[in-house]
Amino acid sequence: MGILRNRAIQGRRVAVRRFASAREAQDANILFISGSEGARLDELLRSLERRTVLTVSDLPRFTEQGGMIRLVRDGSRVRFDQPRADGPLWA
């Protein structure tokens, strides 16, 4: 998280916070859901259904379960795995 400290993107300050509950995260712009939250993933995604929150995770099958972007290691790189346009996210 230190890498983002005091950073701005297009004039907007970047803030990295940890949330104790899904309710606290509802006003985030981008939410990274860590592997430790895998058991609560359905609950978290349901709580964000009507929100404009970009959900990101490295959990297996994240996009198939309704998440938006999955981060995948490809050797020493990290790439995005996005759902297909005809998948459940866009239905």
Answer whether 72's CB lies under 8 Å from 58's CB: yes
CA angle 35, 76, 18 (to 5 degrees): 30
Q: Is 1 exposed, middle or buried (0-12, 13-18, 19+ CB in 10 A)?
A: exposed
pLDDT in tens, the chain (91 residues): 567 777 888 888 888 888 888 888 888 888 999 989 999 999 999 999 888 899 999 999 999 899 999 999 889 998 888 666 655 544 4
| DSSP string covering 8-61 | EETTEE------SSHHHHTT-SEEEE-GGGGGGHHHHHHHTTTS--EEEE-STT
